[in-house]
Structure 1
Amino acid sequence: MDLIVKRANANSLKTQCAVVFALDNTLQSSAQLIDKEANGTLSHILESKALKNKAGSHCWVHLAPNKKRAYEHVLLVSLGQAEKKSKSSISSKDYISSIQSGLKALKGSHIKNAAVYLDQVNLSDTDNSPSTIAQLFATEAKRVDYKYATTKASDKDSSKLEKLTLVVDDAKQVNDAKKGLKLGQALGNGINTTRELGNLPGNICTPEYLANQAKKLATSSTKLTTKVLTEKQIEKLGMGAFLSVAKGSAQDGKLIIMEYRGGAKTAKPNVIVGKGITFDTGGISLKPGPAMDEMKFDMCGAASVMGVMTALVELQASVNVVAIIAAAENMPSGRASKPGDVVTSMSGQTIEILNTDAEGRLVLCDALTYAERYKPKSVVDIATLTGACVVALGNHATGLFSNDQALADKLLASGEKMHDRAWQMPLWDEYQKQLDSNFADMANIGGPQAGSVTAACFLSRFTKKYPWAHLDIAGTAWVQGGAKGATGRPVALLLDYLLNA
């Protein structure tokens, strides 16, 4: 789907469909122009309450054929109720809901191209720049455009929507809106990359597949280089914790390193580290059968890292970012780790494996130690790490843990700004004693209480040399039920942080 920005008039721009809006049951300016030409048809829709005064409510407007008319069809969408403090403003949440609804209606129709007339949309909870308006629009357009079909012989995406024109009402806004559109498209493409990787089955999206995707991305930009470490190289580095997980599978584990150099040569990079367990059976500590298919999503941390790097490449961003993906399968076999085994991490610290299903922290701890060589400005790891985080926060907020409050504050602010929220959890010393072991420097689990906290405490023992944050996305990386699939979170949060760090 092509996205462009234009300044135009609703009665002059040739398009198959004009998408116009109403706020608080009042037609916006472009809708008023069309209403005048249509002899009050849109006003009648509002008067008859065929369009609800709720963000996202929409109605197709049926007009008599007229070859002289600039548009063939009209879609009227409600922006909902205005904010009480300002009768011309709405929340960005309502704006996004309205855009999503309108685009879904277009996608389900026979429309090939449409013009969206946003007029003067005023957002009450963020800046009102044309750039922000266009960025939110483009991100949702790309998000709505995605449909998983890779492993389907039938039911391919039947959408005919090929072109969307975002229309602004002032020529001075065009350049600013174009910048926002570019950012929004890149973010949307990064989110969809993450969703696609997460949705792929484990027999396709293996550690080798992730490595090949990273190599492929590097061919599209001179600013990006990718290298992939094999298990033999990982062993030489002393990554005993990583290998304790990978060795149980016939699929070789991979440490994937992507270096994006778009900023000053002397500038320290920000590092993002993704958990890439491409399928998690639990190992010898086998998971129960029901819903085990969803453990293909256990690599969504790695997928989000790939999504962020995809967006950075598309933007040709002026930043330095290193991405590290710890990719492996966690399988039961004669070679798999057993409860009670003791392994030595790259840091030299020993770990008693009390539960082989607490494998994410084992691959991550060695990747976090590896990150030290970059003398990073910050390190953020992203992982579907604990079911305990889902119990604590549900599916709305990503769990955030950090050893540096300034870093935590920046990530939280990016989450609020990008509607990809996180919630800070405690990382207190009092929890560390739950990881005590009689036979090693630490155990890999801390008992039934505060499971997400003790998992973060475990990782914190490998992050003493830099500002670090951990994002537990176990509750936000995918949805269950009839709409089962990867969400693409927290790509938006991460991209905003990295572009502004």
Structure 2
Amino acid sequence: MHLSIHCQPLVQTTVDVLLVPVFTEDVSNSGSLNESLPSVGERLSAVLGTAEMMGKSGQLLTLHLTPGLYATRLVLMGVGAADKLTTQTMRESVAAAIRAHGMQGARRFGLLPRWGALPPQSFVQAAVIGAHLATFPVDCYRTEDTRPVQVETLTVVTETADDAIHEGIRRGSILGEAINFARFLVNEPANRMTPTHLAHHAQEMANDVGLQTDILNEDKMRDLGMEALLAVARGSVEEPRLITVRYSPPNGGGRETIGLIGKGITFDTGGISLKPAENMEKMKYDMAGGAAVLGAMRAIAQLKPNLNVIGIVPSCENMPSGKATRPGDVVRTMLGKTVEIINTDAEGRLILCDAMAYARRLGVTCMVDLATLTGAIAVALGLRYAGLFSHHPNMVEELQAAARAADERVWPLPLDDEYRELIKSDIADIKNVGGKYGGSITAAWFLREFAGDVPWAHLDIANMAWNMENKPHLPKGPTGFGVGTLVEFVLARAHAANGTPGS
């Protein structure tokens, strides 16, 4: 769906719904709000301060207006105190309002800017991202009882639109579309998003935004010695793919090359170590790390940071069959290390280790991997923070800052040397699981073995990639988590190297 976003004065605006942020201070002093909205002052005064609208974050109140005014409906969005307004609050408030009224048929929305503590660019960017996220159709295969959110326009209602506002619109659109692209990849059923299909979508995206691609098939992976990746793939009739997407800035980008690596298991049964049947249908989202990398690369190509970025997505299915890898099998990775496979359901680290070795061969100077790697991360951190692991303190700080800028949450966890002892194998260099304790940490330690001297960080997003319950701003389904963090990480690196984050 194409969402048109522009600026326009209120007197020239005609929309179905006008979104109005309301601060807690407006309850006791509504003067500035009344001035911004002529003809509705009395109605505002009548509702402000009631239990329905105290200006608290998350509150929504709809007022139906007299025909002939600038909007059919006025939606008051509580956003909290003006001096504490955050981009997360704006994004979620706009998304919730557009979802609620979009499902009722509204297509033209307006937004009255009230900056609070936010710079205009940040305010507008957050609102535009929220508008895009609200339009994503998680129920796209439903043929009955459908209520799609089909937004046509979002008008930023302002007398003067400076460069900051236009930049907020541009960046918000790029990021919102990139996150929705990742959500689309994750949301597709596994029969419609095989490794071959994923490679096809990556190729189409790359062609659209001017990225280079290189997609390896099974034979090429075998020639490179990627036994670990192919051990996971061998149980499925679907062929594996190793997807590489490259961004090179017009002026060369210097010596730094960032590698972004995302797990791309398009369906995970657990293999011979079969998962329980309950909730297995959700295992289509086991490629959310790969989807986040592709979404980030889409945005990076449009934002044009002045450094080189390579996105790598190893993709296959993990299926049981007569050809499937068995517990106890030993494989040799591309790096030459041997791995004893204790549990075939610990497959993500097996495909990532070969992808990391390949990234090093391509010359990356630092790398970040994202993966729905362990259920243990949800036990450790719940459903609020992704796990962050790295043997480089600077990368931990950079990724925490990037996540904050993207309104995503990550939390650093330890990688002490003692945990390495848990993945020692009796017959090979390492084994792919370390027992029942510290599962997310031992999984990260396994990956650390393949980073070598390259600065590396791992994000375990298994608890963040899929929203488990319907929320006003976000339906049950894929979240697109990680896209924003990766983009902000790359932009910050570009800024540090060149003095400019991108165009």
TM-score between the two structures when normalised by the length of structure 2? 0.91
Measure the CA separation in 1 of the matches of 2:363 and 2:280.
Answer: 38
**3-state secondary structure, aligned to 1:219:** helix
Letter in 1 for 2:42: G
* Aligned partner of 2:45 among 10, 33, 43: 43
Q: Which runs of 5+ in 1 are unaligned?
A: none
* Aligned partner of 2:353 among 365, 373, 387: 365
Measure the CA separation in 2 of the matches of 1:225 and 1:35.
Answer: 49
Question: Is the CA contact (8 Å cut-off) linking 1:147 and 1:157 kept in structure 2?
Answer: no
Task: Flag the 1:435–1:64 CA change in 2: closer, same or farther, 3 A.
Answer: closer
Q: Does 1:4 align with 2:17?
A: no
Matched with 1:233 is 220
Q: List aligned pairs for 1:197-208, cutoff 5 A.
A: 197-208=185-196
Q: Does 1:446 align with 2:434?
A: yes
* Aligned partner of 1:424 among 412, 426, 435: 412
Is 205-214 or 36-45 further displaced after alignment? 36-45
Task: Flag the 1:289–1:481 CA change in 2: closer, same or farther, 3 A.
Answer: farther
Question: Is the CA contact (8 Å cut-off) linking 1:231 and 1:243 kept in structure 2?
Answer: yes
Question: Is the CA contact (8 Å cut-off) linking 1:114 and 1:164 kept in structure 2?
Answer: yes
* Aligned partner of 1:108 among 103, 110, 119: 103
Task: Flag the 1:321–1:39 CA change in 2: closer, same or farther, 3 A.
Answer: closer
Cα distance per residue 1:173-217 (max 9 Å; x no partner): 521111121111111111111111111111111100111111111
Task: Flag the 1:29–1:274 CA change in 2: closer, same or farther, 3 A.
Answer: farther
The alignment yields a C-alpha RMSD, in angstroms, of 2.1
Measure the CA separation in 1 of the matches of 2:153 and 2:47.
Answer: 27
* Aligned partner of 1:500 among 476, 489, 492: 492
Task: Flag the 1:315–1:106 CA change in 2: closer, same or farther, 3 A.
Answer: farther
Measure the CA separation in 2 of the matches of 1:476 and 1:310.
Answer: 21
Matched with 2:498 is none
Matched with 1:135 is 125
Cα distance per residue 1:20-60 (max 9 Å; x no partner): 23211257667413655236111111154442432132222
Matched with 2:137 is 147
Which consecutive segments of 4 or more residues in structure 1 shift more than 4 A?
A: 26-30
| Cα shift at 1:241 | 0.8
| Cα shift at 1:160 | 4.4
Task: Flag the 1:423–1:263 CA change in 2: closer, same or farther, 3 A.
Answer: farther
Task: Flag the 1:439–1:113 CA change in 2: closer, same or farther, 3 A.
Answer: same
| Cα shift at 1:233 | 0.6
Q: Does 1:460 align with 2:448?
A: yes
Letter in 1 for 2:460: D
Letter in 2 for 1:229: L
| Cα shift at 1:115 | 1.8
Measure the CA separation in 2 of the matches of 1:28 and 1:160.
Answer: 33
Matched with 2:238 is 251
Identity %: 36
| Cα shift at 1:419 | 1.3
TM-score between the two structures when normalised by the length of structure 1? 0.91
Letter in 2 for 1:122: G
Letter in 2 for 1:471: L
Q: List aligned pairs for 1:79-118, cutoff 5 A.
A: 79-80=79-80, 82=81, 88-118=83-113
Is 291-300 or 262-271 further displaced after alignment? 262-271
Question: Is the CA contact (8 Å cut-off) linking 1:56 and 1:102 kept in structure 2?
Answer: no
Question: Is the CA contact (8 Å cut-off) linking 2:388 and 2:457 kept in structure 1?
Answer: yes
Q: List aligned pairs for 1:149-168, cutoff 5 A.
A: 149-168=139-158
Letter in 2 for 1:33: E
Measure the CA separation in 1 of the matches of 2:170 and 2:30.
Answer: 26
Letter in 2 for 1:257: T
Q: Which runs of 5+ in 2 are unaligned?
A: 494-503
| Cα shift at 1:317 | 4.4
Question: Is the CA contact (8 Å cut-off) linking 1:263 and 1:320 kept in structure 2?
Answer: no
Question: Is the CA contact (8 Å cut-off) linking 2:135 and 2:150 kept in structure 1?
Answer: no
Task: Flag the 1:297–1:210 CA change in 2: closer, same or farther, 3 A.
Answer: same
